[in-house]
Amino acid sequence: MKRWWQALCLGAFLSTAALPASAACPLCKAKADATAAENREEGKSLNAGIMYLLVMPYLLAGAIGYWWYVNQQKQKKLADDLYE
């Protein structure tokens, strides 16, 4: 029962957390289209900023996952050494 409740709460949080972010996409597209029509370099920097914002959560999650994996391996090795 507890796991079901946690999954429900996580799903509700994730579904509501993404709502405000969807409003920014049309604004970015309009800005990129306007700068592309004028042949300015702002579109490239806007795309670079979007890529930066896109990559950071994955790098953070990867770093946390790697840290967790290394610690689990250390604990497993210590437990194996303890029982030998």
- What's the pLDDT band for 6 if we cut at 50, 70, 90? confident
What's the domain range around 4?
1-40
Which pLDDT tens digit goes with each residue over 40-81? 777 777 777 888 888 999 999 999 999 999 999 999 998 888
In one letter, which amino acid is 49?
A: G
Total number of domains constituting the chain = 1
Cα 59 from Cα 62, distance rounded (Å): 5
Residue 84, domain member (yes or no): no
Residue 69, domain member (yes or no): no
**Contact present, 44 and 32 (Cβ < 8 Å):** no
Residue 13, domain member (yes or no): yes
Residue 71, domain member (yes or no): no
